[in-house]
Structure 1
Amino acid sequence: MFFFVLLLLGGLNEVRGEFLSSEECDFQLSYLDTILICHTADRPAVRLGKGEFVAKDHLGNFEINDTVLQVVDLTEYNIISGELGNTFAFFNSEVNIGVNLVVFEDEEKGLYEVKLEFPPEYRVELEGFNRIWLELVADPFEFIYGGGEQFSYLNLRGRVYPIWVREQGVGRNKSSSLTQIMDANSNAGGDYHTTYWPQPSFISSRKFYFESSYSTYHELDFTQSDRHVVYWHINIPTEEEGSACQSCHLTFLVKPSLMEIVQALNPGQPPLPDWVYNGAILGVQGGTDKMLNYLDEAQSQGVEVAGLWIQDWSGKITTEFGTRVFWNWEWNSTWYPVLDELIKDLDKRNIKVTAYITAHLNIDGEVYQNCSQNNYWLTEENGERLLQDFGQFTIGTVDIIRPSPDCNCINVGRGWYKDLMKKNLVNFGFAGWMADFGEYTPTSARSSFADRWWGDQHGEVLHQIFSEEWAALNREVVEESGKLGDIMYWMRSGGIGSKSSQVMSWAGDQTVDWTQSDGLGSSIIAALSLSMSGMGLSHSDIGGYTTIPQLNLTRSKELLLRWAEYAAFTPVMRTHEGNVPEANHQIYSDENTMQQFARLTKIYVALANYTREAVRQNSEESIPVMRPLFLQFPDDPETYLQEYEYMYGDDLLVSPVLDPGVEVWTVYLPLGNSWIHLWSLEEYSEGVVIDIPASLGYPPVFYGAGSTWESLFIQISQDFN
């Protein structure tokens, strides 16, 4: 049962943990033994402030300048009981400002919902205040997970995480020469926290979850030993406005286990289409003849092919970053002749064709030009159409934003774009597509449906939620076409609401290297952090994407095959040629590569029923397919330190090889049961660190002794050794 405790000096000893032994709480918000907020006059839980915010766009890489001009501690508090919930008033009587935290509890769900209100008596003095800080109790030995999709670290403790949707960056390590060069050239280097899918949310190993639904810039500060600080931008409503944002609130969720928290967060994405399990989705391009040649070559070497991904179905252009798709979202019959009939023929062979689309249109294309006079587009602050350089080509962005429920209006641009996608993607016969981008919208952008946002923060909120709106539109296109469960679209950008709209995530544009900050290892952290943020289905580009030959950043054969061998133990195997295909080793580069890749696709297919069950479990039980070890083995302290091993479904432990030139890999086997090595069928004890043979094509994979899938695993071992 939830309870609120008002504690005066000396009253905390019997309920607080050792991590609070150095301070007393004047006010404490707790659930059973989990202390969430501890307030004292000297260490107030809430602060208000003023500041200025500038987010300068560099092709989706934002230079953020968030300047705090004034901070006021709300040192005093009061408790007001009400019929629907309790109000906790934090204020500073000297300057006459304050904020009320109206707390609604759901005892059955273990949930607090907290809404912010700004009482009328403070409105005059609150003018200009637009920042808030909330301090939560921390344990020095606590682990923190989530934050949306992170790439560098699974445990977020010890760092500050700005929550701003953007490109992940190239290199993502300020001490690396690659990142420094990319920063100097185009502000595109990134950092440990830059990500397409950030969320102002986290899970604590103390078995509680925090989430902010405010769609503004946030910072999650996990650098202090005794407090976590959540900071975000707010809008103080005028008296006429009444409330800043009816749909905005904070959430605290406390459960007996981390797994139960994750299940409560995950809405359960729909099951994947059956065709996905037939093999790899081959990323190929270059027109009809090349597509068919690649397919014939792959099948002649035994590659199991579920589908073809032709991102250039609408044509190609050439830029300094490599060949790019012509963002004119209709079939280019010159580039891909007879594609309409070919899709039907391939479907009879159980091979699907998938495509590519964004919410943006190249202004040189016919699709844009035919609708350029219509009021379908995002605009600038001055009312002029928003036109952006996306890297040597200019685009217009469709205003895809859903009107607020109380608007009683229709977004004709959004409706037009849904119809275009139904006609040119669904009805054309594509079985799926990459729904790319969603993170480039500048803060100067404006939607015609401004009633959903707050004054000066309109552009800021629009930027933050655009990717969520893009996900919702794709979901509606598929559902309204009656194709949910048949079509798979995959997306990289997102936010709090995306997990309810997306059917598959992908990790974005990793570099074609071994670096943990942006290479192979980062794609694993991406999947596991998303699993802790409510998204249970994820995969990555096999071999990575970002290629810069001038900096010797090109894909090797070993990297490609190491990535592919771990991808066989993920929900989707999909290749990508990269932005400079000719500079990268490809699965079709030589016969040996093709044969090794073929074997891995057969392993993936052999696991189809096991993977289906894991995907069903995510869909119906909200248990992510790829999950950190500690979710399944919470009583084993060592599992919290393993950031690159993961459970694939209930039974398979996967420890991908992350370094080049190795034949042996070190693996930790959790407490709970003994473990059997998939390739040798040798049994190992629980709770041990072992060195295991890991030659190319044989990633360290184990299953728990006594698994109900043991006969399948033994068969795989026998068939593929």
Structure 2
Amino acid sequence: MLQRTVEGIVVRSEGKKLELRVITDKIVNIFVTDKEEKRRDTIAIEKKKYDIPDFNVEESKDKVLVLTKDLKVEIDKKTFFITFKDKDGDVINEDYGEGVKLGDSEVRCYKKLREDHFYGFGEKAGYLDKKGEKFEMWNTDEFMTHNQTTKLLYESYPFFIGMNKKHTYGIFLDNSFRSFFNMGEESEEYYYFGAYGGQMNYYFIYGNDIKEVVENYTYLTGRIELPPLWALGNQQSRYSYTPQEKVLEVAKTFREKDIPCDVIYLDIDYMEGYRVFTWNKDTFKNYKEMLKNLKSMGFKVVTIVDPGVKRDYEYFVYREGIENDYFVKDKYGITYVGKVWPGEACFPDFLQDKVRKWWGEKIANFVRDGIDGIWNDMNEPAVFETPTKTMPEDNIHILDGEKISHREAHNVYANYMALATKEGLLKERTNERPFILTRAAFAGIQRYAAMWTGDNRSLYEHLLMMMPMLMNVGLSGQPFAGADVGGFEGDCSEELFIRWIEAAVFTPFLRVHSAIGTKDQEPWSFGKRAEDIARKFIKIRYELLPYIYDLFYEASKKGYPVMRPLVFEYQEDENTHKIYDEFMLGQNLLIAPVYLPSKDRREVYLPSGIWYDYFTGERYEGGNYYLVEAPIDTIPVFVKEGAIIVKQKPLSYVEEDRIEEKVVEIYRGNRGKYVHYEDDGKTLDYKKGVYNLFEIEFEYFDGEIDIKFDKVHFGYEDGAKKYRFVLKNFDEVKKVKINGEEVEEYEIVVK
């Protein structure tokens, strides 16, 4: 039986129901069930009203055809076998065998394997291309050394991108139960995905290329809001900086040694017996004065806040939680108790509105003394002394007034905690951008928090692993991500630290972090050579902050990753499809880190076009492999022809000085185009139009360069007043025009 709805169709056959919703011309939602139930969206889907496009429905004896401007979706009315075709009728993706299989304990969907490559899947170890591999998604506090055989890590993104020579698409399985993906590991004929519980509810996301698939996927799951600019600066952490005198010593040393740094983190030892929202009375007895001193030096402070609340009736957070019934229950309805850092602890049920409001109030009160951001750790949620490393799967949560098991809540627990934290920060500082860092996550986390990749090791293998992992996280909708520089566990060597900091300054999130009992990991801890090189590259990052901030603006509008695999920009070049040890910072900079010891050169592939060495200006023909020199104080960085890069003077910290002048570097090419964004970097006023948007273009012909600098939007009066143009790698320039006028000095004053 076929039923037409406002959003799509409903087909019923032999006790099963298929619901198809047209979200856009290129996004279709498929929900298949054998129960009398409604589709349940997870927190991953951003709640908004879709502008449903026009679509047509055609019915024959055996099939139903749903047609949008870009897709033809063919459904067998009896078997629910689905074929997705492009507007020309060519198959993009189709079911295999029995298609959707529904069972009591799991749901799964088989697809014919037509793809050459698979990308995405969020935080997974291994290489960039995931074809031929299998995974599960179940947030896990995995402390053992991560490698390609590590199947479970801290975050779950049940989303992937499939690509072959003709088509590119994405599939997002909107199911928060433990999910699984077999991408051709079992068979060369098919792949499948599913979950151990929940619904078969997935979104088919078509795009002309990977860029459009990511843009369409983040239309569903939301995009990052602009972060505070200081969060893009250098950040220093350790488990743990204690007592408060040590914190101040580290801060002062950064300033004395002229190494830029914006943030210092406080790990669990700042607390009283690991009780969240408290301060240790002995080691941080004058914490308010410490926070003031740090602020006077230009430092922001981010404190760790775990979900586990110590079981102690004298402790106000526990007492309030018990008295108001805020904690997760076991299957018998008794408050669940598990062991974490404070010993026996209870866990807030963040899925409940009232619990998030309560936690948000705790956050608001806690940060009032001068804390600038919150670091959510142990939020898988991790539980000690259990074989599963988490709470029992039959524990009970309340979501929208209904009881659900921890099997369903587990993977989204961190997102709800991040939401509570964000709401708390906004409650206290209504017009200030919140900063939250999370270890665990589910799809859609980009709306609430930045992420880091958890407890890595001081190994060259983990420096390498950082690249494909962060690139796939970016392709999965989260542009604000990084790894612990130098490795968290183990003693980092001088050379490894140098090579890691050289690479990490070009990643979205830059933080050095190390574990208790390991060697110090501040830039000066490895001797003068490492200190000088770290200073040099951290200053390069601060010079590039306008360019990096522009990439975050682009991410907020289109969902594009800040750190990108080469295939994202050069999909037509098959040589880029499997490259995992180089990456793009935006569309203009190509980074090729050295990730092996005792190496002073490495092979680099440059895609088609002309490329210039960022440091020497040497010219390279693209479409070729090169053996590039990379002595210890250098990392291979290349700029593509026609690139425009906006820079500023390096500061000790973001708010040290007002930026009156910016430099616009124009790299030789026939033409180039760039959009530069500017606002105060702190408040939410940009949402009210208080920002500047400039479009910069140039054309170069026969020794003459014509530059256009257009104000697309001008609502922020305190931006840079002067833009100075620097022409890079041009052999001969006879004449320069800016906005149609010939100039001797290559600059423009903004009024």
Pairwise TM-score range, normalised by the shorter structure: 0.7 to 0.9
2:370 aligned residue: 429
SS at match of 1:103: strand
Distance 1:333 1:637 in 2: 60
2:331 maps to 1:381: yes
- Asked whether the equivalents of residues 343 and 353 of structure 1 are also in contact (C-alpha less than 8 Å), the reply is yes
- SS state at 2:460 partner: coil
Aligned twin of 1:151: 125
- Residue 106 of structure 2 aligns with which residue? 131
- 1:687 & 1:89 partners in 2: Cα distance? 53
Return the offset for 1:568: 1.0
The equivalences for 1:396-407 within 5 A come to 396-403=346-353
Structure 2: distance between partners of 1:476 and 1:392: 25
Distance 1:216 1:127, change over 3 A: closer
What secondary structure does 1:709 align onto? strand
Q: Contact between 1:510 and 1:520, CA under 8 Å: does it hold in 2? A: no
Aligned to 1:678: 614
Secondary structure of 1:148 counterpart: coil
What's the counterpart of residue 206 of structure 2?
Answer: 254
Farther-moved stretch of structure 1 (393-402 vs 648-657)? 393-402
Can you list the C-alpha shifts for 1:676-709, whole angstroms capped at 9, x where unaligned? 1112210111111111111223111111122112
Residue among 591, 594, 604 paired with 2:531: 594
In 2, the alpha carbon distance for the partners of 1:446 and 1:305 equals 43
- Please state which structure has a larger fraction of its residues in strand: 2
Aligned to 1:233: 196
Q: How does 1:451-470 map to 2 (within 5 A)?
A: 458-470=405-417
The residue number in structure 1 matching 2:22 is: 105
The answer (yes or no) to whether the contact 1:506–1:541 under 8 Å persists in 2 is yes
* Residue range with higher mean Cα deviation, 481-490 or 192-201: 481-490
Deviations 1:110-146 (A, max 9, x none): 1111122326799xxx99723222112221x521111
Q: Which residue of 1 aligns with 2:303?
A: 355
Separation in 2, partners of 1:160, 1:675: 37
Give the alignment's TM-score, normalised by structure 1: 0.74
Go from structure 1 to structure 2 and tell me whether the alpha carbon gap of 1:593 and 1:316 turns closer, same or farther (over 3 Å shift).
farther
State the one-letter code of the partner of 1:437: M
- Equivalent residue, structure 1, for 2:94: none
Q: Quote the Cα distance in structure 1 between the aligned partners of 2:590 and 2:103.
A: 53
Matching residue of 1:657: 594
> Deviation per CA, 1:268-306, whole angstroms, max 9, x where unpaired?
212221223554445460122111112222222221121
Contact 2:562–2:585 (Cα < 8 Å) also in 1: yes
Which residue pairs with 1:667 in the alignment?
A: 604
Letter in 2 for 1:510: N
Percentage of matched positions with identical amino acids: 18
Q: Which residues in structure 2 correspond to 1:149-298 (within 5 Å)? A: 149-173=123-147, 191-205=149-163, 206-223=167-184, 224-234=187-197, 249-266=201-218, 267-283=222-238, 285-298=241-254
**Residue of structure 2 in register with 1:322 after alignment:** none
Secondary structure of 1:634's partner?
A: coil
The answer to whether the 8 Å contact 2:356/2:417 transfers is no
Root-mean-square deviation (Å): 3.0
1:414-443 per-position Cα deviation (integer Å, ceiling 9, x unaligned): 322211111112x12111121112212423
Q: Which residue of 2 aligns with 1:6?
A: none
Cα drift, residue 158 of structure 1: 0.5
Q: Is the 8 A contact 1:313 1:355 kept in 2?
A: no
Structure 2 counterpart of 1:443? 392
Q: Does the 8 Å CA contact 1:521/1:644 hold for their aligned counterparts?
A: yes
Match of residue 37 from structure 1: none
Amino acid at match of 2:477: G
* One-letter amino acid of the structure 2 residue matched with residue 623 of structure 1: Y
Distance change in 2, residues 1:338/1:693 (3 Å): same
Match of 2:463 in 1: 520
* Structure 2 segments unaligned to the other structure (5+ residues): 38-77, 79-100, 383-389, 647-663, 668-725, 730-751
- Check the 8 A contact 1:614/1:649 in 2, yes or no: yes
Contact 2:309 2:318 in 1 (8 A): no
Counterpart of 1:390 in structure 2 is: 340
Q: What TM-score does the superposition give when structure 2 sets the normalisation length?
A: 0.71
How far is 1:380 from its partner?
1.5
Q: Report if aligned partners of 1:143, 1:204 keep a CA contact under 8 Å in 2.
A: yes
3-state DSSP of counterpart to 2:226? coil
- Specify the code of the residue in structure 1 equivalent to 2:398: F
Secondary structure, counterpart of 2:485 in structure 1 = coil
Counterpart residue number, 2:585 = 648
The 1:619/1:462 distance shift into structure 2, 3 A limit, reads same
1:437/1:467 contact within 8 Å kept: no
Q: Distance in 2 between matches of 1:354 and 1:173?
A: 29
- Structure 1 residue matching 2:331: 3-state secondary structure: coil
Distance in structure 2 (CA, Å) of the matches to 1:699 and 1:523: 16
- d(CA) in 2 for partners of 1:584 and 1:336? 22
Aligned partners of 1:539 and 1:692: how far apart in 2? 26
Q: d(CA) in 2 for partners of 1:90 and 1:133?
A: 18
- For 1:417, the equivalent position in structure 2 comes to 359
SS at match of 2:365: helix
Partner SS for 1:384: coil
Q: In structure 1, which of residues 691, 699, 704 is the aligned counterpart of residue 627 of structure 2? A: 691
Following the alignment from structure 1 to structure 2, what is the Cα–Cα distance between the partners of residues 533 and 610? 22
In structure 1, distance between residues paired with 2:494 and 2:357: 45
**Which segments of 5 or more consecutive residues in structure 1 lack a partner in the other structure?**
1-78, 92-97, 175-190, 236-244, 318-325, 404-410, 548-553
1:582 CA displacement: 3.8
Change (3 A) 1:690 1:128: closer
Which of 3, 6, 9 aligns to 1:86? It is 9
Which residue does 2:708 correspond to in 1?
Answer: none
Amino acid at match of 1:449: I
* Mapping of residues 571-586 of structure 1, within 5 Å: 571-582=508-519
Task: Please list the CA deviations of residues 141-200 of structure 1 after superposition, one character each: whole Å capped at 9, or x if unmatched.
Answer: 5211111221223211101111211124422348xxxxxxxxxxxxxxxx3321211222
2:734 aligned partner: none
